A and B are shown apart, each in its own frame.
Chain A
Amino acid sequence: MTGLLKDVMDDRADSIEAPDLDVAAMVRDGERHLVRRRRTLAGGLVAASLVVAALALPGLRPGGDRDQDTAAPVHSYDIAYAVGSTIHDGPRTVETDVRISALVQGVSGYVVADRQGRVHTMVDGETTLVGRLAETDRGRIMSDDDVVAWVDVADGGTLSVLDLATGERADMSVDAWPGEPVPMNPGRLGGGAGAHIAAVDGRIVYVADARGVMAWDALDGDEPVLLAAPDGAAEVEVIQVQDGQILHVVTSFEPQESDGSTTMVEVEDLRIGPDLQDGRSLPGTRGSLSPDGRLVALTDRQSRPGSPSYDTTSVGDVAGDTWTPVTPPRYDSVIGYRWLDADTFAAWAGTYTAEYAREDLLSCEASTGSCTVAVSPLPDGAVPATGWMR
């Protein structure tokens, strides 16, 4: 007696014919995948990456020029936020047993962190502890659809990458990254690995530490590559990467003449491009890229004498020069922070007076700049799906 279940599976499996597989297509598709992956990284590779040296670097591609064959499907999300242990995701409410301090949405579920930086996945109603952020005060979880990454406290700092859809996971110690390791900062609350997650683009993860910005497909076991920094830059901060377009801020020091003396003034320049060296300047201080990297919601910080600073948002094509202001009535400050689909982004809007502060979450159309209120008011202590610890 071998058991009915085992018998059934054996019989069924034995009954099927041999598969008709196309090995040539596997090799062809596999090589194509490798070329795409290399192209994604090629723009910023240092000389150490000899493999990609012969590949043509993709330029900053105008709207209609994108390789449709490589385009990932664009998923649609509702505006989500958490309050306490409850996730509000559009019309849905998800009760968890985690007090949520950071939240990201994937196609297959959520990833959250609690106040202690413990990272949990929530997939198919199952909550699983998967790690702990290296930094609990300024830590961040980053995601692109189902690929989620964070810098974990393990081994003094480890990049952890997880695919919620497939369960694939990769962990790579900071010590194994190229260049001289940066020591962990023991004075920082919760540790701090000296590194932080900068962006996730498909399966490519971007991290930064004192060595610079590194990018690689950790899930496929690739090695990190250091992206070449622009000439004269004191610092480069990667804001977001989508479809190979890197939105980043270059900080440099420029001489400024004043009253016969020269002082060095810090200048920040928001740029976009397929690498960090030849980016195109954009009129803003920060921004959020659409899933296909074609559109950007730009934020510009404004200061008024005697009043708190506030933010304005405009939206447009990354390759164009026309920017549509996003100015919903009643709000002093608007920040576009996350794209919900190819044409719609979420914005965090606030009304502030000396006695009163109110914040809402809005859904805004890229084509018109018009917004509708999705959450009003945003409850005290709410954690929008930005991935940042709050």
Chain B
Amino acid sequence: MPRRDPAAFAEFVAARSGALHRSAYLMVGERHLAQDLLQEALTKTYVAWPRLRDPAKAEAYTRKVITTTAISWYRRRSWQERPSDTIPEASHEGHGDDLVRREWVWAALQALPPRQRAAVVLRYYEDLTEAQTAAALGCAVGTVKSQVHAALASLRKTLDSHGGEQIDLLPGDLKVVTR
């Protein structure tokens, strides 16, 4: 990777911005905010470009900046500024219920404290290991465990309270890893 080569950087942005944007969106829950977050994170990546050496490191670095910046934004901003999703009412049995439960889970995910939400996105959307998640969050592995545990407990409670006791939040193999 050349020293702060704008062309190589633009190539990296073109290749990886879609995936990074999706991750940012899950962390902040709002498309334009996710785009602003990604724009800022990629600017920092450009500054750090010479020492990132290869695209994999650049992506990991950008993901870390997205994560820590998202947490920082929400720590500094009032929660009242967040877009508030309306939790839908339950509908009839069947496919409609599934959609409603998905809305509940999404709203509950967005209502999590920012560090918990980021931990869940990194572990179960990005499929990062606990160690990789800890690196992205800038915390200890034990903290990742506790954040994920608290987040899943909160999501489970939401799902159960809406009649989803029999529904798995996570695939079976991931549940084992999480314990």
Contact = CB atoms under 8 A, between A and B. Distances in A.
A13 B39 contact: no
Question: A-side binding surface: helix, strand, loop or mixed?
Answer: mixed
Given A16-B25, A26-B42, A126-B143, A5 B72 contact: no
B23 interface: yes
Contacts of B82: none
Contacts of B51: 221
A163 to B, nearest CB: 8
Given A4-B159, A19-B38, A13 B125 contact: yes
Contact of A5 (B46, B47, B124, B137): B124
B163 interface: no
A9 B42 CA distance: 23
Nearest to A17: B31
B72 A124 contact: no
Interface residues of B, number: 57
A124 B113 CA distance: 10
A257 B120 CA distance: 74
Interface stretch (A29-37, A246-254, A282-290, A378-386): A29-37
Chain A interface residue bracket vs B:
35 or more
A169 B138 contact: yes
Contacts of B76: 107, 165
Nearest to B24: A19
A4 B47 contact: no
Interface of A: 1-14, 16-23, 25-27, 29-30, 33-34, 107-108, 124, 126, 128, 163, 165-169, 220-221
> Which 3 A-B pairs rank lowest in CB-CB distance, beginning with the nearest?
A167-B138, A166-B68, A30-B46
12 contacts: A1-B168, A4-B105, A5-B169, A6-B125, A9-B26, A16-B34, A19-B18, A34-B47, A163-B68, A165-B68, A165-B71, A168-B68
